[in-house]
Amino acid sequence: MRKTNFDLYLEEQLKHPVFAERFERAGEAWDVALQLAALREEAGLSQKELARKIRTTQQQISRLESPGYEGHSLSMLRRVARVLNTHVRVVFEPQAKPETSRVSERPGKDQVKRRRIR
């Protein structure tokens, strides 16, 4: 498959360590946001309905589902998980060496698929 201009641009930007680190952190936030939104929708709940069930505001649910938000607390994630009949799992992974190719593990039923770029 032919690379787009964006692919080429991103490839070049990822050579810069600061950009690569920020890009990786953004990907982690996207993972949380996408998983929460997908699980909520799968449960057939609106943000407002979920908020009511965990006694918070719709705006807080919106923040939790925002890819740019990094203020997730474990207690809030557990409250959401309980209502969505799931559980929270935090995984610490060793950092990959810059020369090695990183490939995401095959996602489980409650994980969102994300591709990592070298």
- Would you give the DSSP letter of residue 56? S
Q: Per residue in 75-89, pLDDT tens? A: 999 999 999 999 999
Alpha-carbon torsion angle 69, 110, 108, 24, nearest 10: 0
Q: Per residue in 21-37, pLDDT tens? A: 776 766 677 888 889 99
Q: Residue ranges per domain, the chain?
A: 5-83
Query: 68 or 38: whose pLDDT is higher?
Result: 38
- The full length of the chain comes to 118
- Spelled out in words, what is the top-level CATH class assigned to the domain 5-83? mainly alpha
Q: What is the mean pLDDT of the chain?
A: 81
Q: Per residue in 5-23, pLDDT tens? A: 866 876 887 788 887 777 6
The two structure tokens encoding residue 39: 């699980």
